[in-house]
Structure 1
Amino acid sequence: MSLLIGACATIFIEKVASDQMTKAMGLTLFVAAKSISNTLANSLNEREREIVLLSQSPLFEEMDLNHPRIQKQLDQVQKSYLYYAWMGIADPEGEVKVAAHQLLEGADVSQRDWFIEGKKQPYIGDVHEAILLAKKVKAIDPEQPLRFIDFAAPIVDAETKTLKGVLAVHADWSWAKSVLESSLTENATKRGVEVFITDKNGELLYPYSGIGKIQPPAYNPQEARHFIHNWGSEQKYLTVNLPVISNTATDLGWHVVIRQPVEIALSEVKSLQYEMYALGLAFALILLFFTYRLARRFSTPIEILARNARLIEKGQQDIDFKTNNSIREIRVLSNALRSMVKTLLLQKQQLQTANENLEHKVNERTAELKAANTELEMLASRDVLTGLKNRRAFNEYIEYLFAQFKRHQQSYSVLMLDIDYFKKVNDKFGHEMGDHVLHQTAEIINQSVRSTDFVARLGGEEFIIILPSTTAKAAFNIAEKIRHQVAQATIISDYVLTLSIGVSEVVNMDELANAAVRRADQALYMAKAQGRNQVVMMNKSAE
């Protein structure tokens, strides 16, 4: 009877300890897998967000793809992230027009998945090899062949709203190795913990050495968070299989799979089990009452530890596994559980810190991109040579002012100005002097109008002025003042420069914002036809 009771007590204690340790170690693997999954997902999100924001910047939407500033921007962005192996822009026909460090420029990528899908929306391509690119770039990890992940996004022309090109990045897949190395402790590796990454079909992506040799178990959403599987071998493994859930436009269907040999994961339980059997045999030799009391002495603290482990599993953190029990095995188990909980809480804190740091970096990068976009937006509305507003800014302002006129009857006048015989200036004095003339003329015009007036250079030697709350007669006088000041200014030594100016005022019968502008342009044409160096005002009945 004593033998039976002792055996039952020993089996009971071993079963409770084994179950709880299995849950605890499974929870440890689950937290590690969750950390890696979140880190991979956050990194994918950050890379896609960076490419999309870059593709939507005014620099890419408005400038020609061959502009040196685009080449410089690509070089800077690639340099900012170690794992960007290639970055470039293909035109709508699939030819690489510009690339960081001019790599693969002129190549035909029209049949590549990233180009086909990237024309429609942001796209992420799964891990693949690229033989041509691998010959031209240096591997970050020389221990494995170069493999890449594609990120792509369409570039839409700011004015025509049509596809301008596809921005693409090939990221070195060795990035995944750095994520795993930063997420796993050295102790976990020593305890036989192995990490694998699979694609949506369950094929192995990482590590490269396991491809074709190791086949992780298929993902089953109905399965427990951790389970025991033999992985096609005689050895059993404690296993966790978690999907990588990102908020990207493309769902790659990756999974993080972690395994640890059961004999290592439950080694402390096995050691305790052998000691329990020996102790149970000794208990069988003493009285039943002593055996019962001794069994209770074993089971009660373990049940408390098990109950505390369940509380930890449910999310409570302020649980202490410390015990004053004099039995060595209970103290060993208690210390093991305390160490395990400490490790879990430390990993959780590290995960939170990593997520906070990553979010901070994402916010910083987003703020930098927004600031750069704001600066580019300002540059996009200015004429580089004269510092005046450009045609784009003028088009936006005239539409706004015309809408105000239609709504509130706030009149305005338009002056169209042109430097007379400007081509002769360029031919005689050179283009550098021509630029000087444009800059000085712009200065005189800008100083001759009010701060509320709008001055822009439309192109070449042609300028336009919008005078809010100004009649055509008052605008005519301002035009004469500008014409006179330019004629009197010594912009070129011993050479007189003159302006021809057309004047028009917006009227109620105008249906389009450009109606008054067209009349001012017609008046300018008449001023030139009548001998130049004069101001002509177009009456509303003369159109």
Structure 2
Amino acid sequence: MKSHSFRFLSNFRLQLSLVFGGLFLLATLLDIAIEPFLNETLIENKGEALLSTAQIISKSLDMELLQREQKLRLRTHNKAFSTTSIRSQALTNELVQIKQENPDIKWLGIIAEDGKLATAIGTKPSPYIEYAVSIYDDAGALRGTLVAQNSWSWVSAMIAELLPRNSAEYATQVFIVNQQNIALFSTSADEPTTLPAPLVNQRYRQEDWPDGTNYLYAEAKIENPAKKGWRVLIRESPPQFLASFHRLRSELTLPSLIITLLLVVLVYRIAASISSPLEALVSTAQRISAGEEHVEWKIDASSHEFNKLSLAIRQMATTLLARRGELAAINASLEKKVEERTEALSEANRQLAERATLLEQMARSDALTGLGNRMAAAERLTAEYQRFRRSHAPYSVLLMDADHFKRVNDTYGHAVGDQVLQQIAATLHSVARTTDFAARYGGEEFLLLLPDTDAEGAMVLAERVRTAISAASDTVAGVITVSIGAASAQEEDDTHETIVQRADEALYRAKANGRNRVEGAG
């Protein structure tokens, strides 16, 4: 009785069917077992991608903030800020001009030394991003602080350019967070009221946020000293970026099951007739497997069932060959897309590097004259002073100021005044030697650094500069002259500022002694 119950298991066709069914079940179980590993790998790759995007946004935002703050600082070098009363209408007019030149600035104000608001224009945006620069008089004493408040519209536009093209599909969200862990800016319409604490010793993390939703997120710090503690936080919901992977798996499940069942049936049929036609069929299948696409099917079999199986295998082989061609074309297309995306990323990195270099150059040059600005001058003076301390090689500093420049502005307007400054700068650049360094040191004040030049040589070159500037005057303002103070480095000089101070004192003597002259430091 027992032998009759299990006799059906000795059927060869059933045995093969059970073997193939078991293999499919094993493959399904293996797929289920490795799914967590695949998900973890996908999350790691996505986390690194989010971190890279956050770092790019952070660096771009940091450079943009530095540039805007530097532009504001350069404006405070205007004489109106150093000499005019901070509550005067003239200074308010300067604020109006700055606001007109910078549409993103919605509110400008000056805070006096006592902490009270001296003057302001515009309407405070909400939300806003704020930065401030100090205002000094000609003697270097603090007069107050210039504060600007910008809307976040330019930040939104910048982030939209930097996010990957598929960010909308994955609902990528970006937040700018301050040191109090408050979101100052968000690309999300539903801005969270509570954010997770900053990451410590982690590049990215997946966890439930305070609102109960699970997110994968990364963050990058903003290095701007004025925005200490600020960070860029970018997040995506894991189910969203894993959806495409799971959708593909779901779409392949049913076809895989169908193909497996077909294989079981085919194996069952083949096993029903173990004969020479089977060997011929195997031989034909082996030729196709070896890559031979055009095979003549001549299978002699008396079994109608085997003939049907032969025809089914032939159709399947034809379909597989066609699919192989399609897959080859798809693979070539994907490789081309990867190459194009790689080239686009390389180009974006190159443009970002060029922009960083340009911003660094702009931060050290005067926009009107093209000469170095005060920051660049300070760096070169420091380097030359350090070289003097090491090698005792002489160097000198010429500090010059356009005579009666205020009268030019008052009489002919600031446009002519700008032409005069540009003309002085051009003449200074042409007269200076290759090793010399020229900078616009203030409103109408210029500095010329003369390496390897003693006091006598400095006086000779200063006189040449003075003569060349007055001879080159060709604006409606008539002949423009300059007063020049010269000073050379001495062993008792404590810093490079000491030398500049002595040149400044000589400049004041030149003005006091009638202008349009050169005075050396005592």
**TM-score, normalized by the shorter chain, greater than 0.5:** yes
Which residue of structure 2 aligns with residue 113 of structure 1?
195
Amino acid in structure 2 at the alignment position of 1:63: R
Residue 266 in 1 paired to residue 257 in 2? yes
Q: Is the 8 A contact 1:148 1:170 kept in 2?
A: no
Deviations, residues 218-256 of structure 1 (Å, cap 9, x unaligned) = xxxxxxxxxxxxxxxxxxxxxx87xxxxxxxxxxxxxx9
Q: Is the 8 A contact 1:124 1:152 kept in 2?
A: no
Q: Is the 8 A contact 2:412 2:477 kept in 1?
A: no
Shift of the alpha carbon at 1:500? 2.3
Which residue of structure 2 aligns with residue 251 of structure 1?
none
Instruction: Calculate percent identity across the aligned residue pairs.
Output: 23
Which residue of structure 2 aligns with residue 528 of structure 1?
511
Shift of the alpha carbon at 1:359? 2.2
Which residue of structure 1 aligns with residue 451 of structure 2?
468
Which residue of structure 2 aligns with residue 447 of structure 1?
430
Amino acid in structure 1 at the alignment position of 2:448: I
Which of 27, 34, 53 does residue 47 from structure 1 map onto? 53
> Higher helix fraction: Structure 1 or Structure 2?
2
Could you tell me how far apart the structure 2 residues matched to 1:431 and 1:383 are?
17
Call closer, same or farther: CA 1:110–1:300 in 2, change over 3 Å. Answer: closer
Structure 1: gaps spanning 5 or more residues: 131-146, 174-197, 211-239, 242-255, 284-290, 309-317
Structure 2: gaps spanning 5 or more residues: 73-101, 105-149, 300-309
Which residue of structure 2 aligns with residue 61 of structure 1?
66
Which residue of structure 2 aligns with residue 163 of structure 1?
227
Residue 405 in 1 paired to residue 388 in 2? yes
SS at match of 1:415: strand
Question: What are the equivalent positions in structure 2 for 1:105-504 lying under 5 Å apart?
Answer: 113=195, 117=198, 153-157=220-224, 161-163=225-227, 166=230, 199=238, 204-205=239-240, 258-260=249-251, 262-274=253-265, 276-277=267-268, 326=299, 327-328=310-311, 330-331=313-314, 352-488=335-471, 490=473, 493=476, 497-504=480-487
Which of 9, 12, 15 does residue 8 from structure 1 map onto? 12
Q: For structure 1, which segment, 12-21 or 493-502, has the greater mean C-alpha deviation from structure 2 after superposition?
A: 12-21
Q: Is the 8 A contact 2:53 2:162 kept in 1?
A: no
Could you tell me how far apart the structure 1 residues matched to 2:52 and 2:509 are?
59
Could you tell me how far apart the structure 2 residues matched to 1:459 and 1:16 are?
87
SS at match of 2:410: helix
Could you tell me how far apart the structure 2 residues matched to 1:86 and 1:41 are?
14
Call closer, same or farther: CA 1:129–1:93 in 2, change over 3 Å. Answer: closer
Deviations, residues 438-475 of structure 1 (Å, cap 9, x unaligned) = 22222232232223211100121111001122111111
Could you tell me how far apart the structure 2 residues matched to 1:528 and 1:271 are?
103
SS at match of 2:428: helix
Number of residue pairs matched by the alignment: 417
Q: Is the 8 A contact 1:95 1:110 kept in 2?
A: no
Amino acid in structure 2 at the alignment position of 1:404: R
Could you tell me how far apart the structure 2 residues matched to 1:331 and 1:468 are?
88
SS at match of 1:265: helix
Q: For structure 1, which segment, 364-373 or 319-328, has the greater mean C-alpha deviation from structure 2 after superposition?
A: 319-328
Call closer, same or farther: CA 1:407–1:165 in 2, change over 3 Å. Answer: same
Q: Is the 8 A contact 2:48 2:204 kept in 1?
A: no
Q: Is the 8 A contact 2:396 2:486 kept in 1?
A: yes
Q: For structure 1, which segment, 393-402 or 342-351, has the greater mean C-alpha deviation from structure 2 after superposition?
A: 342-351
Amino acid in structure 1 at the alignment position of 2:250: R
SS at match of 2:483: strand
Could you tell me how far apart the structure 2 residues matched to 1:149 and 1:13 are?
45
Deviations, residues 187-239 of structure 1 (Å, cap 9, x unaligned) = xxxxxxxxxxx73xxxx44699x9xxxxxxxxxxxxxxxxxxxxxxxxxxxxx
Deviations, residues 242-282 of structure 1 (Å, cap 9, x unaligned) = xxxxxxxxxxxxxx9833575542212213434554666x6
RMSD (CA atoms): 5.4
Could you tell me how far apart the structure 1 residues matched to 2:327 and 2:47 are?
21
Could you tell me how far apart the structure 2 residues matched to 1:490 and 1:51 are?
48
Call closer, same or farther: CA 1:149–1:51 in 2, change over 3 Å. Answer: farther
SS at match of 2:370: coil
Amino acid in structure 2 at the alignment position of 1:357: E
Call closer, same or farther: CA 1:121–1:271 in 2, change over 3 Å. Answer: closer
Shift of the alpha carbon at 1:397? 1.8
Could you tell me how far apart the structure 2 residues matched to 1:345 and 1:99 are?
43
SS at match of 1:266: helix
Call closer, same or farther: CA 1:121–1:382 in 2, change over 3 Å. Answer: farther
Q: Is the 8 A contact 1:502 1:538 kept in 2?
A: yes
Deviations, residues 414-447 of structure 1 (Å, cap 9, x unaligned) = 0011223333333333322322222222223223
Residue 78 in 1 paired to residue 69 in 2? no
Deviations, residues 129-172 of structure 1 (Å, cap 9, x unaligned) = 99xxxxxxxxxxxxxxxx99988644433xxx44368575889x
SS at match of 2:56: helix
Could you tell me how far apart the structure 1 residues matched to 2:318 and 2:437 are?
78
Could you tell me how far apart the structure 2 residues matched to 1:520 and 1:121 are?
54
Which residue of structure 2 aligns with residue 224 of structure 1?
none
Q: Is the 8 A contact 2:54 2:234 kept in 1?
A: no
Which residue of structure 2 aligns with residue 19 of structure 1?
23
Could you tell me how far apart the structure 1 residues matched to 2:521 and 2:411 are?
33
SS at match of 1:156: coil
Could you tell me how far apart the structure 1 residues matched to 2:499 and 2:192 are?
47
Could you tell me how far apart the structure 2 residues matched to 1:381 and 1:426 are?
26
SS at match of 1:417: strand
Call closer, same or farther: CA 1:479–1:509 in 2, change over 3 Å. Answer: same
Call closer, same or farther: CA 1:206–1:439 in 2, change over 3 Å. Answer: closer
Q: Is the 8 A contact 1:381 1:390 kept in 2?
A: yes
Shift of the alpha carbon at 1:121? 10
Could you tell me how far apart the structure 2 residues matched to 1:413 and 1:110 are?
60
Call closer, same or farther: CA 1:21–1:86 in 2, change over 3 Å. Answer: closer
Higher relative CO (Cα under 8 Å, sequence separation at least 6) belongs to 1
Deviations, residues 380-412 of structure 1 (Å, cap 9, x unaligned) = 222111111111221222233233333333321
After TM superposition, the score normalised by the length of structure 1 is: 0.58
